[in-house]
């Protein structure tokens, strides 16, 4: 039994739902085949279970350490890094001309679902490839030669240095400065904190993209530039030069992600911290945001991967743990806890959210592939849908991932609270997801204040059109006819609430959308989840009807359908899709209606209460 992800569900979403085989018809991905993708995903699944999962708890127990100014990662991560690097698992979608495999981003996303529950490790190579992509897009040929290729080879690491003690989410308030040198390079002076993977012994060198302000440039975000600051300078022949002038002043002692070194660093204490400008002067924020969409998708993916692993562990435990008697009578023998209604409720809640989140992550990643491989209006449509989805995926995905881990712990009962089982670590590691890469409150503000009106509102309308398209396609199917009306009403609630908040902004009544941005983001996430599960139920219903017809009976024949699902694993899978969608639409989707009612109450009491009375 799987303890990490559901390979069958991955295939269902990729091929039966999204139809990613259309990518084979594009110039960008014409050389790939489904066999290649399937083999890659099968190997990734085995690797996640065999190599990544066992090292997850081991690395957490040992943790990262700072000794004499250098960071040392848990010993088991060195062998894992070699496996990942040698196998090409860190460059699945990296450009082929940079040494990557050039696969679609959606395949890399599906691959990483098998790994990202171990974020304590995976942030090291993920930070590195993020830096490499920045250099690929904005670096000079010399910078690519010196830094990028070794990152993609797995020899160099990488980070992103943004946060300062007095400049967290308000990046424009940063104080780190860059001093221009006669040869065109820069000297960095300042401090940064909360630097994921800021130092480690996994790599020969670490390349730090760092935000700083060139002396004389204006205050605020418009004056920020981005620089490359190596741990070791690189000589002309490619060899490692002197150690750069910065120090690791400490590593954070965190609730979770103990294997990952979250560093505080000081630069230029001896006025000799070397750096090179990446891209153009004063374009630091623009360049940084070039990688932020994929970083935030990765946060949603962390929610999926961790939530999926927590769910599968809880499911395995529920099938083995004998406790209590069934509802059929007190004289019966004790049964496994999966037979108890409340445990079933928790498992179904987790299952429905994991499967909705998987579809949401994969669709967002696939939208990037469609944008890059299409042209004209089609490219713009998918790019716009992705832009709208990103803050929802990041915030709703990480919050949902955490709540899944919390529910998984509840299934275990007291044992879940103990370190004997991994769910307590999943919960600790997942909590940071709502905080880093832009807090979830910031994501909700971005959704309401920017994304709703982006592209004159067309991105939002395109997403809603896709929802109504699913209704047009599947609402006449008997097996899910009872869900169609409820889902249609929810889409109407979604559009009505969006129009209400947009109207408030047009009237300059900004407190209503600002106070309610997070509730609206949750409403959006719930309705999007219902859409994706309804879409899946529609496909499953058609597949079941086809199987019933092949067996010579009507899909409405309940007895024969039960016999079919008992002997046919595919039929059972499709039936589970319908039941999972039914559970979500009947039990979770109604929350959207309550959120709409709360938003339209115009309550701003939180803003009226004086500080002293909180």
Catalytic center residues = 437
Closest CA to 399 of 302, 326, 486, 322: 302
Q: Which residues contact 601 (CB under 8 A, 6 or more apart)?
A: none
Q: Which residues contact 389 (CB under 8 A, 6 or more apart)?
A: 360, 363, 364, 367, 463, 528
For the chain, how many residues are written? 614
CA 479, CA 19: separation in Å to the nearest integer?
Answer: 23
Strand 262-267 to 156-158 pairing: unpaired
The two tokens of residue 566 are 């008992």
Output the DSSP codes for 258-302: TTS-EEEEEE-TTS--EEEE-SSTT-HHHHHHHHHHHHHHHHHHH
CA 513, CA 502: separation in Å to the nearest integer?
Answer: 8
10 Å CB burial of residue 318 (0-12, 13-18, 19+) is: buried
Greatest distance between any 2 Cα atoms in the chain: 88
Closest CA to 477 of 363, 577, 350, 394: 577
The two tokens of residue 172 are 């424009």
In 32-82, the DSSP E strands lie at: 65-67, 70-72
Angle at the Cα of 420 (from 416 to 425), degrees rounded to 5?
A: 65
10 Å CB burial of residue 31 (0-12, 13-18, 19+) is: exposed
> Are the CB atoms for 28 and 397 separated by under 8 Å?
no
Instruction: Decide: helix, strand or coil at residue 14.
Output: helix
CA 455, CA 384: separation in Å to the nearest integer?
Answer: 8
């Amino acid at each position: 039994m799987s303890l990490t992800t559901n390979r069958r569900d991955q295939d269902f979403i990729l091929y039966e739902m999204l139809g990613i085989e259309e990518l084979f018809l594009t110039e960008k991905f014409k050389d790939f085949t489904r066999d290649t993708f399937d083999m890659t995903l099968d190997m990734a699944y085995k690797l996640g279970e065999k190599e990544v999962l066992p090292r997850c708890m081991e690395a957490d127990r040992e943790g990262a350490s700072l000794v004499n100014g250098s960071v040392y990662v848990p010993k088991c991560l060195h062998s894992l890094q070699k496996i990942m690097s040698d196998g090409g698992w860190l460059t699945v979608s990296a450009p082929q001309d940079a040494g990557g495999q050039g696969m679609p981003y959606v395949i890399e996303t599906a691959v990483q679902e098998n790994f990202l529950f171990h974020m304590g490790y995976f942030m090291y190579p993920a930070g590195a490839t993020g830096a490499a992509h920045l250099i690929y897009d904005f670096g000079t040929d010399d910078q690519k030669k010196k830094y990028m290729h070794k990152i993609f080879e797995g020899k160099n690491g990488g980070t992103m240095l943004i946060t300062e003690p007095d400049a967290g989410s308000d990046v424009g308030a940063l104080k780190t400065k860059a001093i221009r040198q006669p040869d065109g390079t820069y000297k960095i002076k300042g401090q940064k904190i909360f630097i994921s993977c800021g130092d480690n012994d996994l790599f020969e060198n670490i390349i730090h993209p760092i935000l700083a302000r060139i002396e004389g440039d204006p205050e605020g975000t418009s004056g920020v530039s981005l620089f490359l600051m190596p741990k070791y300078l690189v000589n002309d022949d490619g060899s490692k030069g002197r150690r750069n002038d910065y120090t690791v002043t400490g590593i954070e002692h965190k609730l979770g992600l103990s294997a990952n070194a979250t560093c505080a660093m000081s630069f230029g204490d001896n006025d000799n911290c070397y750096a090179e400008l990446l891209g153009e002067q004063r374009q630091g924020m623009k360049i940084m945001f070039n990688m932020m969409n994929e970083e935030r998708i990765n946060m949603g993916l962390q929610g999926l991967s961790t939530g999926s692993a927590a769910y599968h562990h809880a499911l395995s435990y529920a099938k083995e743990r004998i406790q209590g008697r069934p509802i059929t009578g007190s004289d019966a023998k004790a049964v496994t806890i999966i037979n108890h209604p409340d445990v079933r409720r928790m498992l179904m809640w987790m299952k429905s959210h994991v499967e909705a989140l998987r579809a949401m992550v994969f669709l967002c990643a696939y939208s990037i592939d469609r944008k890059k491989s299409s042209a004209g209006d089609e490219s713009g449509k998918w790019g716009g849908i992705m832009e709208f989805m990103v803050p929802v995926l990041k915030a709703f995905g990480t919050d949902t991932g955490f709540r899944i881990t919390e529910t998984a712990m509840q299934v275990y009962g007291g044992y879940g609270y103990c370190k004997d089982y991994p769910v307590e670590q999943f919960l600790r590691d997942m909590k940071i997801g709502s905080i880093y890469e832009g807090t979830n409150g910031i994501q909700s503000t971005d959704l309401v204040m920017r994304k709703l009106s982006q592209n004159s509102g067309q991105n939002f309308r395109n997403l809603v059109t896709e929802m109504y398209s699913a209704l047009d396609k599947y609402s006449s199917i008997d097996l899910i006819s009872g869900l169609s009306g409820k889902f249609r009403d929810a889409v109407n609630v979604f559009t009505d609430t969006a129009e209400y908040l947009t109207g408030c902004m047009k009237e300059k009544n900004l407190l209503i959308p600002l106070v309610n941005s997070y509730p609206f983001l949750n409403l959006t996430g719930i309705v999007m989840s219902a859409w994706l599960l309804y879409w899946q139920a529609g496909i499953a219903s058609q597949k079941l009807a086809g199987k019933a017809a092949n067996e010579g009976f009507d899909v409405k024949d309940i007895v024969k359908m039960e016999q079919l699902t008992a002997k046919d694993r595919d039929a059972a899978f499709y039936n589970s899709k319908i039941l999972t969608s039914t559970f979500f639409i009947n039990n979770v989707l109604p929350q959207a209606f309550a959120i709409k009612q709360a938003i339209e109450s115009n309550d701003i009491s939180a803003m009226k209460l004086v500080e002293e009375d909180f």
